[in-house]
Amino acid sequence: MKLLLLANPTAAGGRARRLLPSLRESLRRQAPSIEFVEAASADELAAAARDATRAGYDRVLVAGGDGTVHIVLNELRGSESALGVLPLGHGNDLARALGVPLDPSEAVEFLLRAPVAPMDLGRVGNRVFATVAAVGLDAETNRRARTWGPWPRGHLRYFLAGLRTLLSYVPYRFNLVTDSEEFNGEAMWVAVANAPCYGGGIRIAPEASLDDGLLDVCVIERISAAALLALYPALMRGGHLRARPVRYFRCARAQFRAPVGPELHADGEPITRLPAEVVVEPEAVKVVRRRE
């Protein structure tokens, strides 16, 4: 098996750089022919991923967070090279969805032995994403959290950034048209999900599947700040679907016709501004994942 480890040493505020030497050593012991590439920028990362598809690697193991994986999967999409996620970031939500152990040493063992299967992707314009595309309070929270340093991490980082954002947030009136349902009203945010969780483990779309050819849409309608905070524990565990302000449905295509201007984020990355259309690309990339 022809293997490549493609690493972003700056992931998680440099945590990846500290862990990479021991992980490389472990990989070399178990797969002596594996090759290693470190990328110092997003452009270098994308170029290395493109080179990997041309070189015919069976598995491209990506060491970093969801942002690193986002860049690489946009290059691996449609190729024969399978993506393996070595979780070294803050959120690691795609790793969770794929069943990859979050402990890096255990993940190495998993990625060398687990099976390969196709996975759906969401697409916005020419960009694809693996987990969730969202707009509204959530995207504003993500934008704020991305400006912070390495601490705090995970759930606490997202929660604190959300509290700061909520103090000045004014809900948008969304006009969302899909091939199954339509939403036209004020909402805190709208998430279009390919995977169950994002934001460091928030289970915004607990019924989402990576290979069902559909996207799960979760709309959090306008509620007070106090009501949203009360809903937060349910959001963390995926128990919010029966709450009064929540709309949840599935579709293959979702078009945001209004409002004009807010940012749409996907895999934690700013993708475009509304209006925008999100569509599913069934079986668009091969991934190393837990057998179900």
Domain with residue 81: its CATH number is: 3.40.50.10330
The yes-or-no verdict on residue 14 having pLDDT over 90 is: no
**Do residues 110 and 133 both lie within one domain?**
no
What mean pLDDT comes out for the span 101-122?
A: 96
For residue 85, what are the domain limits? 3-114
pLDDT tens digits, 121-179: 999 999 999 999 999 998 888 888 777 776 776 667 777 888 888 888 999 999 999 99
What mean pLDDT comes out for the span 229-239?
A: 93
Any idea how long the chain is?
A: 292
**Do residues 200 and 269 both lie within one domain?**
yes
**Do residues 161 and 47 both lie within one domain?**
no
For 126, left (φ over 0), alpha (ψ -120 to 50), or beta?
A: alpha
φ, ψ (nearest 5 deg) of residue 152: -75, 170
**Do residues 149 and 252 both lie within one domain?**
yes
Q: How far apart are CA 5 and CA 59, in angstroms?
A: 9
Task: Tell me the C-alpha to C-alpha distance, in Å, between residue 89 and each of 47, 86, 171.
Answer: 21, 9, 30
Count of domains forming the chain: 2
What mean pLDDT comes out for the span 220-248?
A: 94
**Do residues 14 and 136 both lie within one domain?**
no
Angle of CA points 210, 212, 216, to nearest 5°: 75
The yes-or-no verdict on residue 223 having pLDDT over 80 is: yes
- Residue 251, judged by CB atoms within 10 A of its CB (0-12, 13-18, 19+), counts as buried
Q: Is position 30 within any domain?
A: yes
Q: Where is the domain boundary, 114, 139, 166?
A: 114
- List, in order, residues 6 or more apart from 18 with CB less than 8 Å away: none
Q: What is the mean pLDDT of the chain?
A: 92
Q: What is the CATH number of the domain that holds 187?
A: 2.60.200.40
φ, ψ (nearest 5 deg) of residue 118: -75, 150
Q: Where is the domain boundary, 83, 114, 145?
A: 114
Residue-level pLDDT at 233: 93
Q: How far apart are CA 102 and CA 147, in angstroms?
A: 24
pLDDT tens digits, 253-286: 999 999 999 999 999 899 999 999 999 999 999 9
**Do residues 99 and 232 both lie within one domain?**
no
Angle of CA points 74, 275, 252, to nearest 5°: 60
- List, in order, residues 6 or more apart from 258 with CB less than 8 Å away: 173, 174, 175, 274, 275
**Do residues 194 and 242 both lie within one domain?**
yes
**Do residues 91 and 181 both lie within one domain?**
no
**Do residues 18 and 163 both lie within one domain?**
no
**Do residues 174 and 99 both lie within one domain?**
no
Q: Is position 288 within any domain?
A: no
Q: Where is the domain boundary, 72, 90, 114?
A: 114
pLDDT tens digits, 182-195: 999 999 999 999 99
- Residue 92, judged by CB atoms within 10 A of its CB (0-12, 13-18, 19+), counts as buried
